[in-house]
Amino acid sequence: MLAYTIRRLLMLIPVLFGMTLIVFFMIRAIPGDPAQVILGQQATEEAIKSLTKQLGLDQPWYIQYVDYIKGLFTGDLGTSLRTSSEISGEIWPYLAATLELSLVAMVIAIFIGVNAGIISAWFQNSWFDYTAMVLALVGVSMPVFWLGLMEQWAFSLELGWLPSTGRENVRNPVEAITHLYLIDTLIQGRMDQFVEVVRHLILPGIALGTIPMAIIARMTRSSMLEVMRSDFVRTARAKGTRMFWVVYKHSLKNAFIPVLTVIGLQMGLLLGGAILTETIFGWPGIGRYIYDAIGFRDYPVIQSGILIVAVIFVFINLIVDLLYAAIDPRIKYN
Amino acid sequence: MEQPVLNVSGLETHFFTDDGEIPAVDSVDFHVNKGEVLGIVGESGSGKSVTSLSIMQLISAPGKVVGGEISYKGENLLLKSEKQMRKIRGNEIGMIFQEPMTSLNPVFKIGNQLVEGIRIHKKWNKKDSWAHAIKFLKLVGLPRAEELMNEYPHQLSGGMRQRVMIAMAMACEPDVLIADEPTTALDVTIQAQILELMKRLNNETNTSIIMITHDLGVVAEMCDRIVVMYSGKIVEQGTTKEIFESPKHPYTIGLIESVPDVRSRKERLYSIPGNVPKPGSIKTGCHFAPRCKFAFDKCFEETPELMDAGQGQLARCWLHEDKEKAALLEKVES
């Protein structure tokens, strides 16, 4: 297991190397010049030239690339062109915001999705099954931005129950320690702020969690239906086991591998692809951070932001692969 | 005479499919006495497995027991609730299945699966249940029982798994053991061992066994009495000796003839022409008539009942209406 993990981590190097190369060229293929964007439409030719030189963008591409890679090896993610500060120093709060939102969304999605899938399979062709599967179909088909806007309209504008944007009550700001506000407010014992943070998480959490929830529910249902026809399920029933345990113990553990795969993929997508949700809900996350950087042609931020998202994605997949072996004793990594 | 442990009368299990209602088990009557081994013989599709699952009430949709009575120790199992049935399954009536490869849950340890049934029915603590399980693994002749408890099914051979299945079914000391093709999936040498084991358990514990098989060799070896099923109905019933010495139904004769005999090398192995009809496809007349070499007009027009074929043997065949016709059967045998 340890040897396998190390091998997988070593395999990360060429993957990430290739990825830096692709991102490096793709962002330079976008029309627009960082110096021009920073200085504005009225800037003189001279000014643009000198800023380009100052930013190091007058160097040939391979020198720029080698400098970038050298930096990465020393843990230097580069300097933002826009804010002139170290990216490694400013990226964590954004990342933390995204992590917190994605985890909340995923917990909701897994809890409801897995249970809905199980119950649908258990009572196949019942009204619950039909309702859940129609809702799941609606869920996967629903554009996130539309769902988000409808939530804001209904629960903020019309009913006024929940805040529509942001991570916290700006008049009662959270004092950041880890930048994961749920944890920060608990550490400080600020229950009032904790409640506020939870209230801010609900709408974007649901918006972000709906699609994964629907996908997880459908996958759980089909996987459970298949497993529940197995011989060992009949054996368990012939032993006198309660149907609840036949379903939640004997069947679920066998049916969970494909569900876990979907959960891993969706988690990766949430972390990198929450841009729409983050934009609609004014969530200061990594998606917004990269999105804004693209507008400014802030090459170093785009490069490093995408790199970090990719690393997280690959790590989640590794964790999922290791969990397979924990669930199914027949899977061995040697 | 002592009352039978299990008495099945007029059992009707139908499957409600898109093609209409299919009578997979059609008014089946038989009984099992205490300590007796009853063989239920038939080709695939004859309804023998459905009969056994009906007794356990493990028939799942679209199948349903629609009529008859299954009386266990004087109580009708068909009137019991799911909760009451759970107390009987694995406790009073144990069951082992054909496929030892798939009948054990691949993701739980042997010990976990064995202890589960013991804890449900005996309500013992973990330690006592564990010790009891080890005792039964030893009883079924498994070496290193203690270590096996911590192993997974895929680490065991087919024969070992079937022994585990038997230990599991016997662990709560049931009065009746239903064995659905217990040796079909095993090598011949292992088959003999498993049969030997079941015979020993039958002698030692006085457990009644219902042996469901298509293998006449198994029946001859194991059973006191035999029920022959064809297309959902019982076609012949008698003691093993009677049935092997003078079968009274053309189908049984065919079955016995088609057993390969090493001593007399025939040119070709005998096989009954045609296939088992789909249950419900023959509406009038004897279901076996289209394949029967003795069939006459009446066989295609009226469905025969089980009738006395002499010496307490019952056969569902019009030949036994008339002594002269019945004599035709004797001729074939000799």
pLDDT digits (tens, 9 = 90+) for A148-181: 999 999 999 899 899 988 888 888 888 888 888 8
Give me the mean pLDDT over the B192-207 stretch. 88
Nearest C-alpha neighbor of B103 from the set B180, B212, B207: B180
Q: Is the pLDDT of residue B284 over 50?
A: yes
**Would you call the peptide bond into B62 cis, given omega within 30 degrees of 0 as the criterion?**
yes
Other CB atoms within 10 Å distance of the CB of residue B224: 17
Q: Which residue of B has its CA nearest to A326?
A: B107
Q: Is the dihedral of CA A252, A257, A260, A262 positive or negative?
A: negative
Residue in this structure with the two tokens 């943070």, named with its chain if needed = A197
**Tell me, what's the pLDDT at B333?**
53
Taking CB atoms and an 8 Å limit, are A240 and B87 in contact across chains? yes
Other CB atoms within 10 Å distance of the CB of residue B128: 13
Give me the mean pLDDT over the A313-320 stretch. 88
Residue in this structure with the two tokens 């529910």, named with its chain if needed = A217
Closest CB from A230, A238, A250 relative to B102: A230
**Tell me, what's the pLDDT at B56?**
92
Cα–Cα dist B111/B105, whole Å = 11
User: How does DSSP classify residue A152?
Assistant: I
Higher pLDDT, B263 or A51: A51
State how far residue B8 is from chain A, nearest Cα, in angstroms: 19
* pLDDT band, very low/low/confident/very high, at B265 (cuts 50, 70, 90): low
- Select from 2.30.42.10, 1.10.3720.10, 3.40.50.150, 3.40.190.10 the CATH code of A91-327: 1.10.3720.10
Closest CB from B103, B107, B154 relative to A235: B103
Task: Find the helix or strand (DSSP H, E) in which A314 lies.
Answer: helix A299-327
CB burial of A63-95 (b: ≥16 within 10 Å; e: otherwise) equals ebbeebeebbeeebbbbbbbeeeebeeebebbb
Taking CB atoms and an 8 Å limit, are A330 and B154 in contact across chains? yes
Percent of the residues in chain B that have a pLDDT greater than 90, as a whole number: 35
Taking CB atoms and an 8 Å limit, are B86 and A232 in contact across chains? no
Looking at the complex, does the CB of residue A243 fall below 8 Å from at least one CB of chain B? yes
Q: Is the pLDDT of residue B266 over 70?
A: no
Query: What are φ and ψ of residue A102, in 5° steps?
Result: -65, -40
Which residues make up the CATH 3.40.50.300 domain(s) of chain B? 6-229
Taking CB atoms and an 8 Å limit, are A240 and B106 in contact across chains? no
**Tell me, what's the pLDDT at A273?**
60
- Alpha-helical segments (H) within A188-298: 191-227, 231-238, 243-245, 252-273, 275-280, 286-295
State how far residue B15 is from chain A, nearest Cα, in angstroms: 17
Nearest C-alpha neighbor of B313 from the set B222, B258, B244, B212: B244
pLDDT digits (tens, 9 = 90+) for B144-167: 999 999 999 999 988 889 889 989
**Tell me, what's the pLDDT at B313?**
84
Other CB atoms within 10 Å distance of the CB of residue A276: 18
Give one DSSP letter per residue of A70-117, joined into a string.
HHHHTT---B-TTT-SBHHHHHHHHHHHHHHHHHHHHHHHHHHHHHHH
Which of A132-141, B179-188, B190-199, B271-280 is predicted most confidently? A132-141
Q: Which residues of A fall within a CB distance of 8 Å from B91?
A: 240
- For A:79-98, CB contacts with B below 8 A are none
Looking at the complex, does the CB of residue B89 fall below 8 Å from at least one CB of chain A? yes
**Tell me, what's the pLDDT at B178?**
93
* pLDDT band, very low/low/confident/very high, at B3 (cuts 50, 70, 90): confident
Looking at the complex, does the CB of residue A331 fall below 8 Å from at least one CB of chain B? no
Token reading at B287 = 């279901």
The sheet with strand B93-96 has its strands ordered as B93-96, B176-180, B208-213, B37-41, B225-230, B233-239, B314-315, B307-308
- Alpha-helical segments (H) within A123-157: 127-141, 144-151
pLDDT digits (tens, 9 = 90+) for B57-86: 998 878 889 988 999 988 899 999 999 999
Give me the residue spans of the domains in chain A: 2-73, 91-327
Q: Is the pLDDT of residue B314 over 90?
A: no
Taking CB atoms and an 8 Å limit, are B107 and A254 in contact across chains? yes
**Tell me, what's the pLDDT at B264?**
66
pLDDT digits (tens, 9 = 90+) for A246-273: 999 999 999 999 999 999 999 988 887 6
Taking CB atoms and an 8 Å limit, are B90 and A240 in contact across chains? yes
How high is the ipTM of this complex?
A: 0.85
- Select from 3.90.550.10, 3.40.50.300, 3.20.20.80, 3.20.20.70 the CATH code of B6-229: 3.40.50.300
Percent of the residues in chain B that have a pLDDT greater than 70, as a whole number: 95
Considering chain A, what is the average pLDDT of its residues?
89
**Tell me, what's the pLDDT at B1?**
55
| Amino acid sitting at position B88 | I
- Any idea how long chain A is? 334
Give me the mean pLDDT over the B113-136 stretch. 92
Cα–Cα dist B156/B145, whole Å = 12
**Contact between residue A217 and residue B97 where contact means Cβ atoms under 8 Å apart:** no
Give me the mean pLDDT over the B309-315 stretch. 79
**Tell me, what's the pLDDT at B334?**
46
**Tell me, what's the pLDDT at B70?**
92
Higher pLDDT, B60 or B51: B51
Taking CB atoms and an 8 Å limit, are B104 and A243 in contact across chains? no
